[in-house]
Each structure stands twice: as C-alpha cells, then as structure tokens.
Structure 1
Amino acid sequence: MASSRQDVLTRAFVRWNWVRAVLHNGWWLVTSVYLVLDAGLSAAQIVAIGAVQGIFALCCEVPAGVLADTVSRKWSLVVSQVLMGTAMLATGLVTSFPLLLATQVLWGLAWTFASGSDIAWITDELDAPDRISFVLARTARAQLSGAATGLVVIGALAWATRRDVAIVGAGVAMLLLSLYVVARFSEERFVPATGPRWAASWTTFRRGLSLVRGSPDLLRIFLATFLINGATDAAGRLAPKQLLELGLPIRLDPIIWFTGLGFVALVLGAVALRIGARRLDGEHARHSYGVAAVVGTAGAIGLAFAPNAISAAAALILVSGIAVPLTRVISMIWVNARTTSDVRATTHSFLAQAEYLGEVVCGLLITLVAHVAGLPVALAGAAALFALTAAIMRRPAV
C-alpha cells in the first residue's frame, strides 16, 4: 500500500514538473522577444528588470522557505502557481516599462514560494530516503525534456498567432496547473509549526541557519553553488554576443539559432542525467560535481577563444548541456540529504540564495570585465570560476 502511494506521488510530482517546465520555458522564450520587439525596451531597461527581479527574489527566498516549513509546503506551491500564472498572463497584456517591471518582479517572487517547497514536499511525503535521489534525478530529466518541448510548442504558437496571445495562453495554463496541485498533492506527513506564527518562523530560520553553519559539507556546496552560478550566468549572458561577433549566420533569424542551441543543450542535459543517474549522490556526488565543473571550464575556455561561431556553439552546449544541469541536480540532492524535515524548505532556500548571490556578485564582476577588457577575457574569467569550483570539490571531505 505504501509503495502504491509512493508511485502515485512520484508520477504526480514528475508530471507537474514537466508541464511547469513546458509552460515557463516556452513563455520566457516568447517573452524575451516580446520585451524587445513589442514593448520596445532598451538594453538598460531589460538589465534593470533582471536586477530588480533578482533583488526581490534574494530578499524573499528565505522568508518563503520558512513559511513553507511552518505553514504548508503544498499550499506554498499553490500560491506559487497562482502568482506565476498571474504574472505570466499579465505580461502579455501590457507594454509599458513600469508595468512590465511589476509583472517580472511578481514572476520572480512566485518562484520563491516553490523553491525548496517542492523538494521538501516530495521528500517528506514519499518518506523513502533510499528512493528520493532517484526521484529527484528523474524529475530533473523531466524538467529538461519539458523545457525543450516548451521552446518548440509555445514558440510555434507565437509564430502561428501572435506573441502576446502565446504569452497570455501560457499564463492561463499555469493558473490552471494550480488546480492540479490542489487535487493531486496530498500532505499527510507534514506537521505545521505550533505557537505564534512569527515566533515559530524565527525558530525555523535559526534552526536552518544553525544546520548550515555547522555542516562543512553544506558550506562546501553553498560556496560551489555561489561560484558556479556566477560563471554560468555570465557565460549565458555573454554567449549570444560572442557567437554573433564570431560570425553566426544572420540570414536566419538569430532567435531560431538560439532556440535550436537551447533545444540541443536541454536534450544533452537529459541524456547526461540519464547516463550519470547512479553517480549523483552518496560517495560519487563530490567527484561527479568536480567532473561537471571541469567540463564547464573546458566549455568556457572554448567559448572564449573559439575561432568561429560553430566551435563556440559547441563549447556553449558543453556548458549549458552538461555542466549546468549536472551541478544543479547534484547540489539539490546533496543539500536534501543533509537537512532535516523541519527545516528542509528553509535550507533549500538558503541554497537558492547562494545561486542568486553568485549571479549578482560574480556575474556582474565578469560583465564589468567584459566592458573593460573584452569578451574573451571575461569568458576566461568564467572559466576560472569553473576551475576554482572543481578544485574546491576535489578537496577531501572534512
């Protein structure tokens, strides 16, 4: 009976992640073009949206995780879906910069309610420590295949109709997905915190912080996450410009090129996770993370000093198709195995904060280097961050 419930929960969780990946990745592909061509935003306005969104997410990430640990993981996910669908839908209805800034901030805020809550929910409801790593790896593969599907399906919808129609349609579908969470995600093992809400939240926060500070393993993966997210964010932002400067053919719309590259990287990521499924946790995790960081180093160096657009594209696929998905999944499994049920969502929120800080601090520093010393030097800086991460993960466990 327990095994049957576990199978039902696993299928529901994997399917939900697949559909969510379809909608949010396809939506963002169309939105990224909509912001430029339909809303007419400048480069400075687009960068400002990203910066403000990141600041709000950084500030709200841990409070949202604490809320999930004290009130409800399931209903945190429902709130996330409703806010996300509303933000996505509203994006297609407005074109002014202030309103688009508001929709994107709301979209970023929506993710903080799901970040960590989803993993905490499935881990505790499944109640199968020997199985959870497999489920999380399977979920990551579903997210990658869903993302690839979303690029094609929602991109085609935007091409066949209009960009704003595709954006609104994806938002409506995301809102409806909240009903799936309500209907299929049971919450039988979670125990809400007792006592005054704010006191319980503060206690949960302190427990999570104490857990992280007292664990060399968690501190190691948080530092690695900080560095590698800075490297991947910078490489991702600078790669399109590098490819165009190296002579990416523009007879075909560049958005088609980048969609194709993204699709190939997502498929490669799913394959890499499938092949390495047995080496993502336990004793193998540290070694696998280090190998992925070495692959990222090679990819970033290749992107920096590629002689032409084809070799640069191949290097970019190494970074986004192997280094990024492997390190993200391993860090998620690593943290999940070293936390406790009462602060699980909070601890995952700390991990998300390390990601945001890496993007802001390291990413902005490398972007500054790009302005001062040029793209190759900046991308070499990203390669150095990958290499430093690999060195940290090769150090013996304390």
Structure 2
Amino acid sequence: MHPLSLWLVYRGTWGFVGTLSWTTAAVYFLRDVGMSPLQLVLAGTALEIAYFLFEVPTGVVADTYSRKASVVVGTLLSGLAMVGIGALPDVGWVVAGMGLWGFAWTFRSGAEDAWLGDELGPHRLGAAYQRGAQVARVTGLLGIGAAVALALVDLRLPFVAAGCTAVALAFVLVGVMHEHGFTRPERDATTTVVRDALATARGGAGLVRRTPILLLVVGIFLCTGAFEEGFDRLWEAQLLLEVGLPELGPLGDVAWFGILAAATLVLSFAVAGPLVRRVEAFDNARLARLLLVLHGVLMLCALGFALAGSQSLAVAAYLATSVVRNLTGPTFQTWLNGTITDSSVRATVLSITSVAGSAGEWAGGPALGLVGTRWSVRAALATGALLLAPTLLLFARAVRHHGIEPELAGSATDADTDTDADTATTDTADSDAAGEVGTPR
C-alpha cells in the first residue's frame, strides 16, 4: 500500500478508536468502576509515569531496529490495554491498564512520524498531516456515535470495542506496512545491540542540544504540556460543577459529552478545510507565524472558558478551545518534523521533545490541581491558560529567525565534527511534518 494511503487509513482508524474509547470514559470510570477523584488522578499518573520512563528508550528502538515493528507493537499493546480497562471494571485493573496504555503509546510516539518522514520525504509531510487530521475527524464522528450507542447498552463496551479495533489494525499493519525509506544502522562484530542503542540515544540528544530550534521546541512542549494537563483533567468539572449543563432526560451526561465531542470534530473539519492546501505549501517561517497566531488565540479561548459565567458562553469557549487545539496539533508536528533532517535519530529526537511535554504535565498538572483545590476550578483553568504565554515569546523568537534560527544553528554546528545542523539550516526552510487523535493523554 502507498505510504500516504496507509497513513490516511492509520489516522482514520485511530480517530475512530480515540473517540470510541474516550467519549464516555469519564461516565464509565465514575459510575461502573466507582473511582474517586484521587483514583482518577492516580490512573492518569500511572499512564504518565509509563510514558515518561519509556518514551526515549522506545524511540531508540525505532531508530535502531524498525519503525514498523515499533508501531505494530504499540498498536497491539494499546488495544490490549483498552480491552483490559473495559472488561475489568476494577480500580486496580484500570490503573494497570492505563499504565500499559502509556507504555504502548511510547512505541507509537515518534516511530509513526519517523516512518512517515522516511517514506514520503519532508516536502510531502504537510499534506499528509493535514489530510490525515481531516480523515480522523470524520472517522471520529463515527466513533462518537458508536460510543454513545454502546454506552447506552453497557458502559464497558466502548473500551472493549475500541481495543478490538486497535488489535485488528495491528495485524493489518503487519501485512501492508512497508519501510523502504529506513535503513537499519549497520553494526560490526564488536558492536552490541545495547551499545548501538546508546549511541543512537546520544546522537539524538546531541542533535537537540546543538540545534537551537529544537531546544526552543522543548520549551514550548513544557508550557503546552502543563496547560493541556490542567485543561484535560478539569474541563468536565468546569461544565458539570461550576457552570452546569441542561438536562437531556434519560441520556444525561453521556449524551452531552457525545454532543460536545461531535461538535468539536465537525467544527474542526469545517474550519480546517480551507486551510489544508495553504498549510501544505507553507515553509518553516510561515508555519512558525501561523503557530504564533494559533497559540495566542488558544490562550484567549482557554481564558474565556475559565471565566465564562453562563452555560452558552462556557460551551462556546470550550468548543473554540478544542477546535484551535485540533488545528494546532498537525501544524505544530509539521513544523517540528521539518526541523529534523537526520533520519537516523528522527524517532529519538521526537521522543525527547515529547518527554518535555510529559515533564510539563508532571510539573503543571499537580500545581494546577492544588490551585483548583485551594481556590476553584476556574482559577486553575485560568492559570493553565496563562501558562501558554511563554510559548508566544518562543514562537516570536522562531518567527524572527524565519522558523529555523539559521545563525545560531550554524554557529552551534561549527563546534561539531559532522554537518547535520548545517544541513538542517539549509534544508528545513522548505520542510514540513505529524499529529494524533486518540492518544490516552
């Protein structure tokens, strides 16, 4: 199968799986499993711990052994984790399942983007990410409908069905996924697998250190990670406890969450449509400017959601925030992947930057939780929105240097023996690259 066609199928399947598993998850955790707020936090913590510990090691696996194998393993383990969470409505099993899911996600994170970059090349990544996101929005609507229908029968069924779909996808990938653009590093007789993996990890970390734009990306990930952790954990509490939602008869909360998820995807599809072809042709400089604008709008929308005093304003602000986040993801990943020209460490570098996002969640999530406990959910959400302010400064810096910081990258490279960063300076001005629907995070 052609890489672009496979990518669209892959993203479409995960769009379906993501909304199928998570649209009614909060209701399942609270009603059937009987989880307390502390236990909900512990489940999220288990996922984040697994993600934080294994993200870079599994990225190294993708760079030293196989992107395809890493993606297949991650997809299979994700499916098994979902089935376990749905089939065993027990707090301990849910926490364990979330930990397994976080571990599984590390195999996919970085590896799928690295595979796509190798197979398509940098100049076609923007189109792949934008079109993949649109396909995922359409299939996500189908997942929402399936989740609500199954949840009305049994709240466990959406997780079980999503897990079975992911397992089936893993077996499909075994047969149709190829990696012609990836060459496994050669090892001589004296080089062990572990030594080779460590060398790859050092190479990826070194590329991040000596490429200023990637250091800037790490800072952006820290800030956005803190914001996203607070928003993702507290938006439901804001609507249910602070603002309140109208009654919908016997359907109740399940229907409301389904409506909001569907509205987000429909609006995202409609807004993204006119932008897709334009963004496909953007170089790194224009992508950086677009990201600066999107993050500014995101901060304002998130503040509006936190401060909204009526149901209509809160719902409108939530939808606006979610739509902007949907638009930001593929654009940011296109820009990020376009800064990496050394394919041999691509997955490792992407994993390192993702770990920065996880660190932001670790640091920002508990802090925002304390703000919410001490003062209010509104205060916590508003504080989280303000954490996006530093990203505006970082993107403004990138814009001043045309999205690639050429002078700094060049001076950093002079101190090294290879020319990877010099290549990045000249090549990434025309590059593009990845995003995701359905991550448990």
TM-score, normalising length: structure 2? 0.84
Q: What is residue 182 of structure 1 aligned with on the other side? A: 174
Q: CA deviation at 1:321?
A: 0.9
C-alpha spacing 1:271/1:386, structure 2 compared with 1 (3 Å): farther
Deviation at 1:115, TM superposition (A): 0.6
Q: What is the CA-CA distance between 1:170 and the residue it aligns to?
A: 2.3
Using the alignment, how far apart are the partners of 1:165 and 1:384 within structure 2? 38
Instruction: Report how far residue 281 of structure 1 moved.
Output: 4.5
Aligned to 2:61: 67
CA deviation string 1:27-66 (max 9, x = no partner): 1224432222112122211110101210111110110110
Give, as a single letter, the amino acid of the residue that structure 2 aligns with 1:239: W
- SS state at 1:270 partner: helix
Tell me by how many angstroms 1:255 deviates: 2.8
Cα 1:166/1:327, change in 2 over 3 Å: closer
Matched residue of 2:87: which SS? coil
Shift of 1:352: 1.6
CA distance in structure 2 between the aligned counterparts of 1:258 and 1:373, rounded to whole angstroms: 26
Count of matched residue pairs: 389
Q: CA deviation at 1:145?
A: 2.7
Contact 2:79 2:163 (8 Å CA) reproduced: yes
Mapped contact 2:28–2:155 kept (Cα < 8 A): yes
Change (3 A) 1:270 1:124: same
Alpha-carbon distance, 1:25 to partner: 2.4
Q: 2:82 aligns with which of 88, 91, 104?
A: 88
User: 1:254 and 2:253 equivalent?
Assistant: yes
Alignment partner of 1:130 is 2:123: yes
Q: Name which of structure 1's ranges 48-57 and 260-269 shifts more when overlaid on structure 2.
A: 260-269
Cα deviation 1:279-317 (Å, max 9, x = unaligned): 365221111111111111211221122120110111111
Looking at structure 2, the residues matched to 256 and 360 of structure 1 have their Cα atoms a distance apart, in angstroms, of: 31
Q: Aligned runs of 1:1-398 on 2, under 5 Å?
A: 8-126=2-120, 128-159=121-152, 161-195=153-187, 196-244=192-240, 245-252=242-249, 253-277=252-276, 278-279=278-279, 281-322=283-324, 324-339=325-340, 340-395=342-397, 396-397=400-401, 398=405
The CA deviation string for residues 58-90 of structure 1, in whole angstroms up to 9 with x for no partner, is: 110110110011000001111112111111112
Distance change >3 Å, CA 374–CA 33, structure 1 → 2: closer
**Shift in alpha-carbon separation, 1:303–1:166, aligned structure 2, 3 A:** closer
Q: Give aligned-pair identity as a percent.
A: 31
Cα distance in structure 1, aligned partners of 2:49 and 2:72: 23
The answer to whether the 8 Å contact 1:30/1:167 transfers is: no
Structure 2 residue matching 1:131: 3-state secondary structure: helix
Letter in 2 for 1:28: W
In 1, distance between residues paired with 2:350 and 2:253? 36
CA contact (8 A) 2:248 2:255 kept: no
Letter in 2 for 1:170: A
Using the TM superposition, name which of 162-171 and 47-56 deviates more. 162-171
Aligned-partner SS, 2:156: helix
In the TM superposition, what whole-angstrom CA distance separates every residue of 1:193-212 from its partner, at most 9, and x where no partner exists?
A: 23311111111111111111
Taking the aligned partners of 1:170 and 1:243, their CA distance within structure 2 comes to 26
8 A contact 2:24–2:257 mirrored in 1: no
Asked if structure 2 preserves the Cα contact closer than 8 Å seen for 1:233 and 1:363, the reply is: yes
Please give the TM-score of this superposition, normalised by the length of structure 1: 0.92
Stretch of structure 1 that moved more, 209-218 or 26-35: 26-35
CA contact (8 A) 2:146 2:158 kept: no
Which is further off, 80-89 or 30-39?
Answer: 30-39
Q: Distance in 2 between matches of 1:131 and 1:208?
A: 23
Q: Residues 221 and 331 of structure 1 are in contact (CA less than 8 Å); yes or no, is this contact kept in structure 2?
A: no
Please give the per-residue CA displacement for 1:319-353, whole angstroms capped at 9, x wherever unaligned: 1111x123322321122111121011111111221
Tell me the amino acid that sits aligned with residue 179 of structure 1. Answer: F
Q: 1:65 to 1:47 in 2, by over 3 A?
A: same
Structure 1 48/95 Cα, relative in aligned 2: closer, same or farther at 3 Å?
Answer: same
1:113 Cα deviation after fit:
0.5
- Cα separation, 2, equivalents of 1:268 and 1:103: 32
Letter in 2 for 1:75: A
Which structure 2 segments of 5+ residues have no match?
A: 406-441
Cα RMSD of the aligned pairs, angstroms, is 1.8
The 3-state SS of whatever aligns with 1:377 is: helix
Q: Is the 2:268–2:323 contact (alpha carbons within 8 Å) kept by the matching residues of 1?
A: yes
Amino acid at match of 1:181: L
- Contact 1:77-1:118 within 8 A present in 2 as well: yes
Q: Does the Cα contact within 8 Å between 2:83 and 2:163 map onto a contact in 1?
A: yes
Mapped to 2, the partners of 1:182 and 1:39 lie a distance apart of: 35
Q: 1:191 Cα shift?
A: 1.4
